[in-house]
Amino acid sequence: MIKKDLYLSVVSPVYLAEDILDELVTKLKDVLVTITNDFEIILVDDGSDDNSWQKIIGHCEIDSRIKGVKLSRNFGQHYAITAGLKQSEGNYVIVIDCDLQENPKYIKDLLNKKEEGFDIVLSRTLKKKQNFIKNFGYLAYNRLFNILIDNQDYKIDNRYCTLSLLSKKAVDAFLQIKDHHRHYILILIWLGFSKAIIFVEHEPRQNGISSYSFNKLFHHAINGIVSHSDKLLWYSVYAGFSLSLVSFFSIFYIVVKSIYSGFLPGWASIVSLIIFSTGLILISLGIVGLYIGKIFDQTKQRPLYIIDKLKNFSNVE
């Protein structure tokens, strides 16, 4: 049973969404007013270069329960979510993407599920309505991540959606995580609080295209793996030992062959071994470089995001 006095925050990261913001706000309010009037909708403009912020301002002026956060530049979806969570005041917080591929009607299902005593409720779909290449990319990334992750309790799959519910306790714990490279769902899983999953229908995108290019997705995938596992370093060590072992036996074989029957030089095999070894060395150096880069980013201790403007927050004039 949903409590009528529930105070609820809804956080939605917004990027290049001027054409869909009106529908997003309308659908959110239509659902929320059937639950409680004591709610807030926090729209976080992640440095959009269209009229998204002007749209947010317009809705804020119409309804004080709608609040706007404008970041100084495009920091990324997961940082925008963090900014929204930081500004939220609700006992429970819903996080939802702005593209309406996750229907706000499932907010009631999230709230009903949390009544069973869960601090975190995630959503998962049977199939995401995305093109084949993107679905395949997500599948490959998640398979690789699950192989490399140290703790198998943190396994993920490509069917998780951003739509989720967090208790105030979970929000406070989330905000304590200062990882520079972050993935919203991975952090929620890592927190370890009691969690549940609801299944939702992933709907086709109604306007525009995803702001995640292949290049962005690739870097996001690499950051996700490197930030949560050091197995790549171990694999490079294993490869180095294996190659050294093969080289030792090869040298032994060449020496024995030269003593007993002579040994004709094989330039092709030598060049192939040199190229292979060089490639392996460069890959290993690249892996080490990725981890050093993450350490460098973390030790700079820069803020995860910078807020340019706020609208309709009580602590702002």
State pLDDT tens for residues 208-244: 555 555 566 566 566 666 666 677 777 777 777 777 7
- Predicted confidence at residue 90, as pLDDT, reads 93
At 142, the pLDDT band (50, 70, 90 cuts) reads low
Q: Tell me: pLDDT of 166 over 50.
A: yes
Which of 135, 140, 141 lies closest to 202, judged by CA? 135
Q: Tell me: pLDDT of 265 over 70.
A: no
What does the angle CA 83 – CA 85 – CA 90 come to, to the nearest 5 degrees?
145
State pLDDT tens for residues 67-105: 999 999 999 999 999 999 999 999 999 999 999 989 999
At 300, the pLDDT band (50, 70, 90 cuts) reads confident
CATH code that applies to domain 8-214+303-311: 3.90.550.10
- Predicted confidence at residue 190, as pLDDT, reads 87
- Predicted confidence at residue 262, as pLDDT, reads 62
Helical spans, DSSP H, in the chain: 21-32, 52-62, 77-87, 107-114, 132-148, 168-176, 184-191, 214-228, 231-260, 267-299
Choose the weakest-confidence range: 8-22, 26-40, 119-133, 154-168: 119-133
* Backbone angles phi and psi of 45, in degrees to 5: -80, 110
- Predicted confidence at residue 60, as pLDDT, reads 96
> Residue 43 corresponds to which tokens in the numbers above?
């729209």
Mean pLDDT of the 157-165 span? 85
At 281, the pLDDT band (50, 70, 90 cuts) reads confident
Mean pLDDT of the 160-178 span? 95
Please indicate whether residue 274 or residue 127 has the higher confidence score (pLDDT).
274
State pLDDT tens for residues 178-208: 888 888 988 998 898 999 999 998 887 666 5
State pLDDT tens for residues 111-123: 999 999 999 999 9
Q: CA–CA distance from 170 to each of 41, 167, 183 (Å)?
A: 19, 5, 15
Choose the weakest-confidence range: 2-6, 143-147, 222-226: 2-6
Q: Tell me: pLDDT of 34 over 60.
A: yes
- Are 86 and 11 in contact, with CB atoms under 8 Å apart? no
